[in-house]
Amino acid sequence: MKKIIYFSFGLLLFGLSLLAQTPQAFKYQAIARDNAGNLIANQNVSFRISILQGSAGGTCVYTETHALKTNDFGLANLNVGGGVPVSGNFSTIGWGSNTYFLKIEMDPLGGSAYQLMGTSQLLSVPYALYARNSSDGVGNGTSGQTLMHNGTAWIGNSNLYNNGTNIGIGTLSPASKLHVFTPSFSAKLGTTSQGVYGEHSVSGSYGWLGASNEGGYGFSPNGYGMRGQTTNGYAFYGEHSASGNSGWIGSSNEGLYGNSIGGFGVKGNTANGYAIYGTATGTGFAGYFSGKAFVSGNMGIGESVPNRRLYVSDLQAGLSYPLKLENKYTIENEAAVGILFSAGGSGTNDRGKGALAYQYTSTWNRGSFHFLQNAETNANNPTLANAVMTITNSGNVGMGTTNPQAKLEVAANAGPHIIINDLNGSNDRPGIKFSNNYIHYIAGDDLTDEYFGFYSGFGDNRTYDAILAVYGKATSNWGKYLGLSHNGTSGRIFTDAGDLLLEPAGGVAINTTSAGAYKLNVSGDVYFSGTIKTSIKTESIIIPPAAFTCDFNDRGYYNGGEVIMTNDLLINVNGFEAPVYLPHNATVVKVTSYWQDNSTNSGTLLFSRTKLTDGSDNTLSANYTYWQSTVRNYLTDTTIETPVIDNNNYMYYLGLLLYNDILFYGAKIEYTYDEIK
């Protein structure tokens, strides 16, 4: 992944100098270097320059931006005062009335992510701008002054001011060919739009004669804009013979009447009062409009200082409804009222593509809100059929449906229906949280077997596996989890820590429909690459007489399968052997032999092993008969030498020594084990 590295830059101030003839700007030069001190040469950078008043953290009186490219030496040249203004006016800064500081910010990538480079006080150079205002001209005069003799010499005087175009008396900013100004009034002759213009500075009243569209006009915030009086006719009457417009004030039927073919029937203007004012008493109306009404500025209803095109205000405790829209059509599901929205310039008059509508669906004016969007490229307004989101009277929200059956229902032809986007792109775990209950579910509509899919990406081409992780208890971390995934070839159940425990109420069945009476029922072959450990089990094997073979076949003996005995008249002893097969790593705990000894000699049963590499033998257990008995008996040995079975290096067997009149009925070997190979 590409990383964006932010460098800090050292700025070297070479000098500040005024441009020729003291224009409203001064030069600033800087060298841009990175953290290692390397020049940033031939690169687009951007600066934001601010002038602060009074201190390094003072009020910003002016801000501008510059976009430029450094040269081969990393040098950036710019004219402070000649950039793109953001706030303030450079030319009106009072350099001589305060101290000022220069704040420099830069984006080394040429954008608008400015980084503070430093703030320093302007000590002298820009104040030449201030000196400019006091040193140009002749004597002690300033631009536009006329000469006046004070009895000793000619000096500049501003009482009569000439800016080369207009002449002002009492003003340095004449707005007409002749402009007379006093603290109480202002009079102008020959303005751009009136022949005569007068203004009373104290009361705010003003008016004119000989304008382009009025013969006369008057305004007063508190008194009379223009005043007239009559006994039987019109206090004021006017008629425009060319257009046919006419009107009057103070007739027998109307206080004010105006008629216009194409202009204004009645026009009013005010700075602080009411251009048109009406008061209603009883059942009357303060104003009545039977046709269209046009308001070019802001309109306030209940608000005297509206800062929006329409500002509706109320003042009361609790919930207020200062605005109401109503459709009085009374048939359910057929009456709706809404607000139509249009932006971008394509909508004309009553046309729009977005709307918010309220539809009457039940008694007592109950209904649903619909957000409407018409996606057609035509002049049709949206209808209720274009609803993209609905909020019912019961509080259910539907997207793609107007009749949601749950608090949120999303309907669409193809997924994904809901996308939860982590804006940080980090491990913040965006998702869905259930609360206020410990039983939660995700369900289908139970019309058939339901599939719930978890995908790494929505679509039939995916690069990564989806992992369903179930997390356990944790402290100060997100904890460990049980994972379920499929890599496209095989499924996998795993944990990132700890054991995987299966605790079914019954058993586990693999490749079969039921575990039956077993904890694990597998239909098919099972392969284990390691050792299977179990709880310690005790098992035994019985070595019957039939398993023994005789060492000396030339001597008389009898082996009927269930008993062995010798019956040689010349040599009354014989030997027999039988192999023993026990599980690897099993532990032999007891060897029992079954006899009937009618002789005076001792019969012997030996449990032994032979080492495969050298053939050496050693006896692990021995049973000896020391008595004469006419009934079957048994001997037990629990002192087993080297009891753990090692099938990798040894083979195990029983050796039997019998004398005449001794009957051997077999042996039993008991062992324990905790693993299965």
**Which is more confidently placed, 81 or 132?**
81
pLDDT value of position 250:
58
E strands present in 244-328: 246-249, 256-259, 299-301, 310-312
pLDDT value of position 203:
72
pLDDT value of position 227:
65
Residue 221 above 50 pLDDT? yes
**Which is more confidently placed, 677 or 275?**
275
Contacts (Cβ under 8 Å, ≥6 apart) of 200: 184, 185, 206
Instruction: Answer whether the bond into residue 416 is a cis peptide, omega within 30°.
Output: yes
Residue 137 above 80 pLDDT? no
DSSP 19: P
Calculate the average pLDDT of the chain. 82
- Rounded to two decimals, what is the model's pTM? 0.48
Summarize pLDDT for 484-522 with one digit per residue, the tens.
Answer: 999 889 999 989 888 888 888 899 999 999 989 888 899
Residue 550 above 90 pLDDT? yes
pLDDT value of position 403:
93
CA distance linking residue 370 with residue 397, whole number of Å: 10
pLDDT value of position 3:
33
Buried b (16+ CB within 10 A) or exposed e, 490-525: eeeeeeeeeeeeeeeeeeebeeeeebeeeeebeeee
pLDDT grade for 23, boundaries at 50, 70 and 90: low
Summarize pLDDT for 262-273 with one digit per residue, the tens.
Answer: 667 677 777 777
Residue 352 above 70 pLDDT? yes
Amino acid occupying residue 524: G
Q: What DSSP element (H or E) covers 347?
A: none
Return the ∠ at Cα 617 (arms to 616 and 621), rounded to 5°. Answer: 160
Contacts (Cβ under 8 Å, ≥6 apart) of 463: 456, 457
Give how far the C-alpha of residue 449 lies from the chain's centroid of Cα atoms, to the nearest Å.
35
Q: What DSSP element (H or E) covers 507?
A: none
Here the tokens at position 621 are 């257990």
pLDDT value of position 199:
79
**Which is more confidently placed, 416 or 338?**
338
Q: Report the sign of the C-alpha dihedral through residues 613, 616, 620, 621, in that order.
A: positive
Question: In which region does residue 255 sit, left (phi positive, over 0), alpha (psi from -120 to 50) or beta (all else)?
Answer: alpha
pLDDT grade for 420, boundaries at 50, 70 and 90: confident
Residue 136 above 90 pLDDT? no
pLDDT value of position 452:
85
Q: Which of 106-115, 199-208, 441-450 has the lowest mean pLDDT?
A: 199-208
Q: Which of 45, 35, 189 is nearest to 110 (CA)?
A: 45
Residue 189 above 70 pLDDT? no
Summarize pLDDT for 40-88 with one digit per residue, the tens.
Answer: 899 999 999 999 999 999 999 999 999 999 998 888 888 999 999 999 9
pLDDT value of position 112:
92
The alpha carbons of the chain give a radius of gyration, in whole angstroms, of 54
pLDDT grade for 234, boundaries at 50, 70 and 90: low
Summarize pLDDT for 78-102 with one digit per residue, the tens.
Answer: 899 999 999 999 988 888 778 999 9
Residue 237 φ/ψ, nearest 5 degrees: -140, 135
